[in-house]
Chains A and B, each alone.
Chain A
Amino acid sequence: MDFIFPLSQLPMGQNATVLKILTSGTMRRRLQDLGIIPGTQIECVLKSPAGDPVAYRIRGALIALRKKDSETILMNP
């Protein structure tokens, strides 16, 4: 199956691979600093009480991202 979805829709406990980062500028830099590049495996680990932000496992670290930012990261299953 080969469909594309934003990181924000990754269900809890699931893994997926980064296909593309859509955002530009500072946030793009930040995401790259954290090791998010095409091909990076990301797991959805933890939701905050309000459901936003969500914490993801990225290269061994637990990183919280806001929905408006995780929406800009396209994923492949």
Chain B
Amino acid sequence: MRNQLSASAASDFIVQTKSDNDLIIGLAGNPNVGKSTVFNALTGMHQHTGNWPGKTVTNARGVCTYHNRNYILVDIPGTYSLLSHSPEEEAARDFLCYGNPDGVIVVCDATCLERNLNLVLQILEITHRVVVCVNLMDEANKKKIRIDTDALSQKLGVPVVTTSAKNKTGLPNLMETLERMLQHPSESAYCVTYPDPIEEAISALATYLPGDTLRYTRQRARKLLEDEVLPLEFSNDAGISTAFLHAKSLLRSHNFTQNTYRDTVATALVTQGEQIARDVVTFEDENYEKRDRIIDRLLTGKLTGIPLMLLLFAGIFWLTITGANYPSQLLSSLFSHGEQLLFAGCVSIGLPPWLCSLLCAGIFRVVGWIVSVMLPPMAIFFPLFTLLEDLGYLPRIAFNLDKAFQCCKACGKQALTMCMGFGCNAVGVVGCRIIDSPRERLLAILTNSFVPCNGRFPTLIAMISMFFAITSPYSSLWQAFCLTLTVTAGIGMTFAVSYLLSKTLLRGHPSSFTLELPPYRKPKIGKILIRSMLDRTVFVLGRALAVAAPAGLVLWLCANVEIGSQTILSYLSGWFDPFARWFGLDGVILTAFLLGLPANEIVIPIMLMAYLSHGSLTDASDLLSLKQILLQNGWTQITALCTMVFSLFHWPCSTTLITIKKETNSVKWTVISALLPTVIGFFICFVIATVSKLIF
């Protein structure tokens, strides 16, 4: 599976230029050094950023025009090194080696330059057309870390620029330096040197290898000598084969094994980076991290870590619920007025009644429902969540929960992919690429839909506020508590299922795990709130139009086209009804979930339309009247509870399923990812329904 993944990742890197004049520039660097921020600032795009390593899993590309020339920037996923074999590192290496970039900007973290130099040196082995961009200078200044960039540039033999991409400082200089470098690439870029026997072996092989520069053939030789046999592309060449055998015997005569060779290479890179850093970086304040450690001791403390995490989430949920109330009501009354106006308008221009009804009760109402009920909570939840993300809290969640994941033989980084799942499960599934081990990645992919996504979250909130609210001044707190409980149930199920899968279908041991905890960063609050709110609004509206509007059309047809004496919708729901009753649901609910496969957002609108097609109420734009409709159709708290459970645990939406198919390359796992939550959902609903029938 790993090979398939890396192959598909590598093919993403082939860049098409629009004209011969366009230049392809790779943006490389360690994880979480602000590559995406640099990328956004240069291209004016809005690639997702956040303070945690591994966000960028797909390679975004954008165009930056400077002095009338197009620079196509490719945002390569962050890697610590090019020596390992994770899919991202291979993809990054493939892009640098075979993607023919005209130049590479290596973004470094000024607060942690030494570690970053390791990658810089490895990239300098491949190409000398490099600009080193020392980013996060503002943070380094605050921590009193001084960097002598002139000395660094002199030592590396390539231009060095300092930036603070968040504040957009240093970027014009970066482009100017890049332009100059491309015109006159440095001839004296740093060359990593290895102990004598390795140098001899590299030289012996490198002269026979194809490549434009000695630098590049040396790197290829060094890489080839790691393995015992030549890859197919070279093994047919007699010259290369002989040179390879000669170089190998040279290494063997100096007692190098495959392992000691690799160790020596890694050590040479690290020590040379260390030497350079020693001469250019000075720490004027040794206690620069005091504040971070105090916060960390609270947020990851033995007694405080987990409770604070739950409290933080409950707090965000509370703000979401209370904050969304008013705009939600406002929007729904606006939409219901709008619908009346639209209907009157349609009638007045002489459209046939069925078309008026289709436009207003079909398309407009579904879109209106989604915008008024889905948008406000999401436009509040996500900015708050982004705030946590930019502060650097998400890796701490992974740190806190890793032990639990370890017990389930899974990877702690799964916590990060779950956080992404809140936004959209399809995004969460793609995000699982940050997990190295294929087995653990599969666990994370299969369980991602246990986190309620953007399309289900508001449904849960609506259910809670309709059926589980209490009449007390603390009602909103209670609702936040209920929501936290629901989300925790999803997380608990993630652990349980991961554990079971590790014991059955995906047997194995937890693999290597390293997680970088970045420094806390003060987010630009105002900017983030607005940016994230706009992004989310665009996302929800985009889905509303792309999925809900056509779905509204189909649904209206289902609810109004009659076959015999019944509409299609009532025929379907009547057929499912006896079955659904076993699980505390009814035919309409089950039909709604089935028809909601393209997008979970439309589940409640489908229910509404089905109920209304034989009901008397016409206006159902706010929650109060919705509750009336549901009660009229025999809903109880048990029905609501079962609907919530089923919303949390049922098949993922079609977009997510397609993404799972793409990421796993397997129909089998895609089917399992749909069956698993469905079976669980039905089972829990069955238990709830049966127990409640016994009690009441």
The reply to whether B85 and A26 form a contact with Cβ atoms under 8 Å apart is yes
The reply to whether A59 and B112 form a contact with Cβ atoms under 8 Å apart is yes
The reply to whether B511 and A62 form a contact with Cβ atoms under 8 Å apart is no
The reply to whether B403 and A48 form a contact with Cβ atoms under 8 Å apart is yes
Q: Interface digits, A5-37 against B, CB 8 Å rule (1 contact, 0 not)?
A: 000000000000000000010111111111101
The reply to whether A52 and B403 form a contact with Cβ atoms under 8 Å apart is yes
The interface centre, meaning the residue of A27, A28, A47, A64 with most chain B CB atoms within 10 A of its CB, is: A64
The reply to whether A55 and B80 form a contact with Cβ atoms under 8 Å apart is no
The reply to whether A60 and B111 form a contact with Cβ atoms under 8 Å apart is yes
User: Of A28, A38, A60, A65, which one neighbours B114 at CB under 8 angstroms?
Assistant: A60
Q: Interface digits, B268-308 against A, CB 8 Å rule (1 contact, 0 not)?
A: 00110110000000000000000001001100111101100
The reply to whether A66 and B513 form a contact with Cβ atoms under 8 Å apart is yes
**Contacts of A61 on B, CB cut-off 8 Å?**
112, 115, 516
**Contacts of B305 on A, CB cut-off 8 Å?**
48-49
The interface centre, meaning the residue of A34, A37, A40, A62 with most chain B CB atoms within 10 A of its CB, is: A62
A63 touching B112 in the complex, CB below 8 Å, given contacts A48-B400, A48-B402: no
User: Of A24, A33, A45, A49, which one neighbours B81 at CB under 8 angstroms?
Assistant: A33
The reply to whether B113 and A55 form a contact with Cβ atoms under 8 Å apart is no
User: Of B84, B118, B517, B519, which one neighbours A35 at CB under 8 angstroms?
Assistant: B118
**Contacts of A24 on B, CB cut-off 8 Å?**
259
Number of A-B contacts defined by CB within 8 Å = 126
The reply to whether A49 and B302 form a contact with Cβ atoms under 8 Å apart is yes
B436 in the interface (beta carbon within 8 A): yes
Considering the chains assembled together, what is the distance between the CA atoms of A30 and B558 in angstroms?
Answer: 56
The reply to whether B400 and A49 form a contact with Cβ atoms under 8 Å apart is yes
B230 in the interface (beta carbon within 8 A): no
**Contacts of B686 on A, CB cut-off 8 Å?**
none
Minimal beta-carbon separation of B27 from chain A (angstroms): 19
Considering the chains assembled together, what is the distance between the CA atoms of A34 and B83 in angstroms?
Answer: 11
User: Of A45, A46, A51, A64, which one neighbours B514 at CB under 8 angstroms?
Assistant: A64
**Contacts of A71 on B, CB cut-off 8 Å?**
none
The reply to whether A64 and B302 form a contact with Cβ atoms under 8 Å apart is no
The reply to whether A46 and B296 form a contact with Cβ atoms under 8 Å apart is yes
The reply to whether B266 and A37 form a contact with Cβ atoms under 8 Å apart is yes
**Contacts of A53 on B, CB cut-off 8 Å?**
399, 402-403, 412, 513, 515
**Contacts of B517 on A, CB cut-off 8 Å?**
46, 55, 62-64
The reply to whether B300 and A48 form a contact with Cβ atoms under 8 Å apart is yes
**Contacts of B665 on A, CB cut-off 8 Å?**
none
Q: Interface digits, B507-523 against A, CB 8 Å rule (1 contact, 0 not)?
A: 00011111111110000
List B residues 231-259 near A (Cβ within 8 Å). Answer: 259
Minimal beta-carbon separation of B312 from chain A (angstroms): 14
B267 in the interface (beta carbon within 8 A): yes
A33 touching B118 in the complex, CB below 8 Å, given contacts A26-B511, A46-B297, A63-B517: yes
B263 in the interface (beta carbon within 8 A): yes
Minimal beta-carbon separation of A16 from chain B (angstroms): 17
The reply to whether A26 and B512 form a contact with Cβ atoms under 8 Å apart is yes
B406 in the interface (beta carbon within 8 A): yes
The reply to whether B514 and A37 form a contact with Cβ atoms under 8 Å apart is no
**Contacts of A45 on B, CB cut-off 8 Å?**
293
Known: A53-B399, A61-B516, A64-B514. 20 other contacts (CB 8 A): A26-B84, A29-B84, A33-B83, A35-B114, A46-B300, A47-B300, A49-B306, A49-B403, A50-B402, A50-B403, A55-B296, A59-B274, A60-B113, A62-B516, A62-B517, A63-B516, A64-B412, A65-B513, A66-B510, A69-B513
| Residues of A participating in the B interface, judged by any CB pair closer than 8 Å | 24, 26-35, 37-38, 40, 45-53, 55, 58-66, 68-69
- The 14 sampled A-B contact pairs (Cβ below 8 Å) are A27-B512, A29-B266, A30-B84, A32-B83, A32-B270, A33-B80, A34-B80, A49-B306, A53-B513, A60-B113, A61-B115, A62-B516, A63-B514, A64-B399
Pairs A-B, 3 closest by C-beta atoms: A50-B403, A27-B512, A33-B81
